[in-house]
Amino acid sequence: MDARYSFETLISAEALAAKVSELGKQITRDYRDKDTVFVGILKGSFIFMSDLVRQVQLDKLEICFMMVSSYGSGTRSSGNIIIKKDLENDLEGKHVLIVEDIIDSGNTLTYLKKYLANRRAASVRVCTILDKPSRRETELVPDYRGFEIPDAFVVGYGLDYDERFRELPEVCILHLDGKQA
């Protein structure tokens, strides 16, 4: 591994698995007998979404993905929200659960909630494995939240730095050249 990067484990793989199981049970209770669509936000949510859907026991569950960007190659959100891959699914009358890896400023998810609600969804809620409320710029509060984390740049469990480190099984604080990213 590149010597410029070092990692400090913030959330272990075991803690992630336990929290995903807990979230799956909650979501199963809340969405039982509802026509439900999980919308995973690529690329970061793919590992969390995969783990989550295996913990959810619903008869009427569609899975789809969107690709949205607000970061580029830096460590801070640019604030410009670009939909790179939109949904092809019909959401009318369905209950939508946006599955996200991390909520930072809240700008992207605030935008997406309105965007998906305009497709006449019965409801639009948010599930995130990581939440950084100290960075929030909107009133967004996730409906389902795994862990509240400090204001640090994290990688692993699907989260990346310039398309690297998604494969790490735990959530780690990234250090560049000995300093926090």
Residues serving a catalytic function are 104
Cα–Cα dist 73/108, whole Å = 16
CA terminus-to-terminus distance, the chain = 17
Q: Which amino acid is at 25?
A: K
Instruction: Return the number of other C-beta atoms located less than 10 Å from residue 164's C-beta.
Output: 13
Contacts 24+ apart (CB under 8 A), 153-156: 153/75, 153/180, 153/181, 154/10, 154/102, 154/130, 155/7, 156/7
Residue 100 and residue 118: Cα distance in Å, rounded? 19
What is the side-by-side strand order in the sheet with 82-85? 82-85, 61-69, 36-42, 95-103, 123-131, 144-148
